[in-house]
Structure 1
Amino acid sequence: MKYFQLRNGQTLMIRKAKIEDASRIIDYINKVCKETENLTFGEGEFGITADKEAEFIEAVSKSENQLMICAYIEEKLVGQLVFAGGHRPRIMHTGEFSITVLKEYWGLEIGTEFIKYLINWAKETRIIRKINLKVRSDNNRAVKLYKSLNFVFEGTISREFFINGKFYDSIHMGIEID
């Protein structure tokens, strides 16, 4: 568990997800997917129940190369990061993460603290040697954040997203953990 002072003076707590967070996480996801078009799913498309989320949290907690962390301000869930490492020996050292923050908390460096936590965790595991991500190519704010934390551009995939009748490319980025 880590605590951070945000720009607005509030205290942010980041901790690993717990099984009892499952319902709260589903409610959070149902809210955050309405706030942005930058996710791989939209409103009503997540399709996971609280029970399935609890099973996922339990599986992640038992894995050496997976991580799910939540950000809280007081008792309010304001952000989440999920890192999924590879399941086979040849790719266990690498994985991809997703990150979300409630829109009202954008710009307070919650995403920065999440990614720093992830990088430190990866170093501590001594298993994770590469962290990958993909981001919509027009999400300039996120790309700027990832670059500031030393993620490097690794390629573009055309037409990765199809939202409201329009295609969007994705940028793939990564950071090596040594």
Structure 2
Amino acid sequence: MRDYVMKNGNQALIREAIPADAQSIIDFYNVVGGETNFLSFGGNEFTRNPEEYETYIESVAAEENSIMLVATIDDTIISIATINSSQKARSKHNGTLGIVISQNYTGMGLGEKMMVELMDWARHNGITKRISLVTREDNHRAITLYKKLGFEVEGLIRNDTYINGVYYSTVVMGLLF
């Protein structure tokens, strides 16, 4: 667990997710899905059963090459950041990073802090040698942060997402250790 003081002076606690967080995580995803079109799901589209999600959180925690972090203020989740990795011998060195921040807390340095926490964890877990991520091609703010942290553009998936009658392309980025 780490405390992080954001640019607005609020203090957030960054810690690993636990099974008891399942319902709060589901609720968080359903709210933030409606705050931005940069996610792979919209508002109230994260339809997971809390008991099954508890099991998922337990399985992530049991994997040496996967992690789920939450940032909270007063026990309310304001960000979730993950690295999910295959357990197959040929690909377990590659993790996929995902990060979501509540719209109320963007621009406070929290995204960079969460990413740095994940990257430090990945560098030291003894397994991960590469992290990949995807983002929409027009998510310039996120792409700027990812490049600042050392990620490189590896490719483009054209017309990968369809929202309100418009197709968007997805940028694939990677970081090698």
Q: How does 1:148-167 map to 2 (within 5 A)?
A: 148-167=148-167
Q: CA deviation at 1:43?
A: 2.2
Distance 1:104 1:152 in 2: 28
Q: CA deviation at 1:42?
A: 1.2
Aligned residues: CA RMSD: 0.9
Distance 2:142 2:164 in 1: 21
TM-score, L = length of structure 2: 0.97
Question: What is the SS of the residue equivalent to 2:128?
Answer: coil
Q: Which amino acid aligns with 1:114?
A: M
Question: What is the SS of the residue equivalent to 2:3?
Answer: strand
Distance 2:49 2:81 in 1: 18
Decide whether the 8 Å contact of 1:4 with 1:12 is kept in 2.
yes
| 2:46 aligned residue | 46
Decide whether the 8 Å contact of 2:14 with 2:69 is kept in 1.
yes
Q: How does 1:12-27 map to 2 (within 5 A)?
A: 12-27=12-27
TM-score, L = length of structure 1: 0.96
Distance 1:51 1:159 in 2: 35
| 1:117 aligned residue | 117
| 1:77 aligned residue | 77
Q: CA deviation at 1:166?
A: 1.1
Q: How does 1:45-64 map to 2 (within 5 A)?
A: 45-64=45-64
Which runs of 5 or more structure 1 residues have no equivalent in the other structure?
none
State the identity as a percent.
34
Question: What is the SS of the residue equivalent to 2:90?
Answer: helix
Deviation string 1:62-121 (CA, Å, 9 cap, x unpaired) is: 101111010012222100012111221000000211110000100001110111001110
Decide whether the 8 Å contact of 1:11 with 1:74 is kept in 2.
no
Q: Which amino acid aligns with 1:156?
A: L
| 2:95 aligned residue | 95
Which runs of 5 or more structure 2 residues have no equivalent in the other structure?
none
Q: CA deviation at 1:160?
A: 1.1
Deviation string 1:3-58 (CA, Å, 9 cap, x unpaired) is: 11111111111100001111111111111101010111112322212112101101
| 1:142 aligned residue | 142
Q: Which amino acid aligns with 2:117?
A: Y
Deviation string 1:132-174 (CA, Å, 9 cap, x unpaired) is: 0000000001001101111111111101111112110011111
Distance 2:3 2:174 in 1: 26
Distance 2:55 2:86 in 1: 18
Deviation string 1:122-141 (CA, Å, 9 cap, x unpaired) is: 11101000000000000001
Q: Which amino acid aligns with 1:95?
A: G
- How many corresponding residue pairs? 177
| 1:4 aligned residue | 4
Decide whether the 8 Å contact of 2:81 with 2:100 is kept in 1.
yes
